[in-house]
Structure 1
Amino acid sequence: MDVSSFFRYPLEQIPYVLLALSLAFAVHEFAHAYTAYRFGDPTAANQGRLTLNPLVHLDLVGTIMIFLAGFGWARPVPVNRFYFKNPRVAGPLVSVAGPVSNLMLAFIFTFFLYLLTGLGWMDTLSERIALMINQIFLHIIHLNVVLFIFNLLPFPPLDGYRIIEDLVPNDTRAKMVQYEQYGIFLFLILAITPLGEYVFGPIFNTAVPFITDLMHVVLSPLL
């Protein structure tokens, strides 16, 4: 049996994926924790989550899913909205901070890849080192774009669902919380079965190339 057939990525790319994944998850969860802290919620900080240490944020199942399905999740940062003076504003901003941080990270690494290539610095390196750097950058860009899109999907417990939950009226929010466990169950079915290909496949196959191409369009005239 070929073990590599179970993975979304070739075995030789696993180290690059792990590095990109650790960075993406750490920045994503730190963004949640920091934004909540700035709005007055010390919960995540008190639990040691206000850090860029990826080991604090990694979730075993969510990490495995990256390798099996191409998308995954980290351990959610605890947020206590009772600390917020204006939960209608703070709540959505805390939720969207994670995905936005992934998009910013993808944009930054796209910029530096353009810079390294455009200034000819990659040409001064050995072919092996240049290829390794290129692979690391491309995986960081790709995974961060994937996490940006994935986390904005309106399924619990993803950030997209939390944003909707924070914006709807209180009575609707109460109903969403009541039925949230069923939404999580549905999400897990889609995530771990081939059914997910029919739901997530078209989204990622369209949105990821679109955002990646858009970043290139924005950056190419500047370099």
Structure 2
Amino acid sequence: MRLIQMFQESPTQALIYILSIFLAMCIGLSFHECAHAWTAYKLGDPTAKNMGRMTLDPLKHIDLLGMLCFVLFGIGWAKPVMIGSRNLKNFRRDDVLISLAGPVTNLLLSFVFYGIYFFLQPALMFRAPVVLYILATIYSVNISLAIFNVLPIPPLDGFHVVTSLFVRKSYKVVEFLQRYGYWILLILLFTGVLGYILTPVVNWFTSLYYSFFSLFV
């Protein structure tokens, strides 16, 4: 396992990695879930707000298994935000908007933190490389969270989008995914397949951000 190998080679680097991932997770997941709750509230559903989920407090959002997967595999999930469908005027449309609010927020965060990383890099490269490492972890984790959550597998946001748009046309597929979604996610994590999906996408967004911010120097 990568984490064990890191501890064997450099305990200090392993601790920095864990702290960076944990910080990135707290920021990414808190904004992600708060965005779901805020969007639902604006669309007429106060359920998540009443449950205390319209907050940036990570303790309100963290799922223990999701947090463990984050530390071990670099990707994970939070407690899902509950939605009261009866409070929404147009459930299918609003469910799509609520579901996409989280991933879009993560992409915006990744953009902001990459900008901070980009402009601080010349000054901190030799003085405080750990700070740059933490910033890089935060922006890359947020990209990963955005892409991970649009996968059409329950309980991820992409599944809500797909079911809201196409549930009548593919009910058997939806039923299968609802039953085995968690197992599919765990298999993707443990086999490393998810990494093959996420890594090139993270690299593509990083290259895109670099091209954008390079326009200002």
TM band (smaller chain): 0.7 to 0.9
Tell me the CA shift for residue 169 of structure 1. Answer: 4.7
Match of 2:18 among 2, 14, 36: 14
Partner of 1:205: 199
Q: Which amino acid aligns with 2:103?
A: P
Match of 1:216 among 192, 210, 217: 210
Q: State the distance in 1 between where 2:169 and 2:3 align.
A: 49
Structure 1 residues 6 and 165, CA gap change in structure 2 (3 angstroms): farther
Partner of 2:10: none
Q: Is the 8 A contact 1:4 1:11 kept in 2?
A: no
Q: State the distance in 2 between where 1:6 and 1:134 align.
A: 19
Structure 2 residue 83 is matched with structure 1 residue 76: no
- Does the residue aligned with 1:109 lie in a helix, a strand or coil? helix
Partner of 1:88: 92
Q: State the distance in 1 between where 2:52 and 2:210 align.
A: 37
Q: State the distance in 2 between where 1:220 and 1:14 align.
A: 30
Q: Which amino acid aligns with 1:167?
A: L
Structure 1 residues 205 and 175, CA gap change in structure 2 (3 angstroms): closer
Describe how 1:96-175 pairs up with structure 2 within 5 A: 96-117=100-121, 120=123, 122=124, 127=127, 130-170=128-168, 172=170
Point out where structure 1 has 5 or more consecutive residues left out of the alignment: none
Compare 161-170 and 178-187 and name the one that shifted more.
178-187
Q: Is the 8 A contact 1:6 1:68 kept in 2?
A: no
Structure 2 residue 46 is matched with structure 1 residue 52: no
Structure 2 residue 30 is matched with structure 1 residue 33: no
Compare 164-173 and 85-94 and name the one that shifted more.
164-173
Point out where structure 2 has 5 or more consecutive residues left out of the alignment: 8-12
Tell me the CA shift for residue 178 of structure 1. Answer: 6.9
Describe how 1:189-204 pairs up with structure 2 within 5 A: 189-191=187-189, 193-194=190-191, 197=192, 199-204=193-198
Structure 1 residues 6 and 75, CA gap change in structure 2 (3 angstroms): farther
Q: Which amino acid aligns with 2:130?
A: M
Tell me the CA shift for residue 39 of structure 1. Answer: 0.3
Q: Which amino acid aligns with 2:142?
A: N
Q: State the distance in 2 between where 1:32 and 1:159 align.
A: 10
Tell me the CA shift for residue 95 of structure 1. Answer: 0.2
Q: Which amino acid aligns with 1:4?
A: I
Structure 1 residues 12 and 55, CA gap change in structure 2 (3 angstroms): same
Report how many residues are paired: 211
Q: Which runs of 4+ in 1 moved over 3 A?
A: 169-175
Partner of 1:5: 5
Partner of 2:46: 42
Tell me the CA shift for residue 188 of structure 1. Answer: 2.8
Q: What per-residue deviation string (whole Å, max 9, x for no partner) do you get for residues 144-164 of structure 1?
A: 011111111111111111110
Structure 1 residues 178 and 15, CA gap change in structure 2 (3 angstroms): closer
Two-structure CA RMSD over aligned residues (Å): 2.5
The TM-score normalised by the length of structure 2 is 0.87
